[in-house]
Amino acid sequence: MRLQSLWLPSFATLALLVILLASSASARAAVPVLWSAVPPNEVYAGYSYVTQSYDQTQDNTISGGMNGWQGSFKMRLLPWVGLKFDASGYYAQHQYTDPRTYFFLAGPQISQHFGRYNLFVHGLIGVAHLNGATPQLGFSPSVGNNAGFPLVSNFSFAAAIGGGVDRAFNHFFAWRITGDFLHTNFSSSSTQQSQLQLVSRDGRISTGPVLRF
């Protein structure tokens, strides 16, 4: 009986210590990291995917997105604010056209570090370029192609709004998952503008490594 009475308080004390330690670890993870402890610049490169194809039109039955790449460089301006330069490219092979789309964007990024995690949002503007060769002909048409799917090779205003999360593995290396809403002003050939319209709003997701320095 005496041993049992001694064991019960010891078990309760041990359980209390475990709870306190777990709470302390959670609290440390939730506290923002001092900015002096985080490298000010970062370079990112990874796989990217846009949810719609840039040669899809209203009467085109082709569906699906485009695979590609995304890279960015961010330098810190203020403790929470950095300037980001972003580039990406996307490619597809379809029956009538092989669209290729490139984005070159820049803008502010707002970030906050919590333990090993960095949450961020950004707003970017710039330009996008679209071109597409006709597989049967092997060249990029300036107005359209013989298959009846106009694909103008031109530049357009572009913008991206989104954000993501980085998971750090050490002081210099992290892994990123990010997503954006993309907007462009691409248009089809002027002679068929009323019938055909290229995608102007799209979603983008990306993942890959981040190097901090």
- The whole-chain average pLDDT of the chain stands at 77
Instruction: Give the dihedral sign, CA 29/31/32/35.
Output: negative
Measured in degrees and rounded to the nearest 5, phi and psi for residue 66 equal -135, 135
More confident residue, 60 or 95: 95
Tell me which architecture the domain covering 40-212 has in CATH: Beta Barrel (2.40)
Radius of gyration of the chain (CA): 25
Position 35 scores a pLDDT of: 60
Of the pLDDT bands very low, low, confident and very high (cuts 50, 70, 90), residue 151 is low
pLDDT for position 27:
42
- What's the rounded mean pLDDT across residues 126-155? 62
User: pLDDT digits over 23-79, tens only?
Assistant: 444 444 445 556 667 889 999 999 999 998 887 554 555 567 899 999 999 999 998
pLDDT of residue 133: 64
Which percentage of the chain shows pLDDT scores above 90? 47
Cα 29 to chain centroid distance, Å, stands at: 24
Taking CA atoms, 163 is separated from 110, 115, 185, in Å, by 9, 18, 22
* Domains of the chain, residue spans: 1-31, 40-212
Q: What is the mean pLDDT of residues 77-91?
A: 96
1 has pLDDT over 80 = no
The answer to whether 71 and 44 are in contact (CB under 8 A) is: yes
Which of 18-27, 48-57, 147-156 is predicted with the least confidence, judged by mean pLDDT?
A: 18-27
Structure confidence at residue 168 (pLDDT): 94
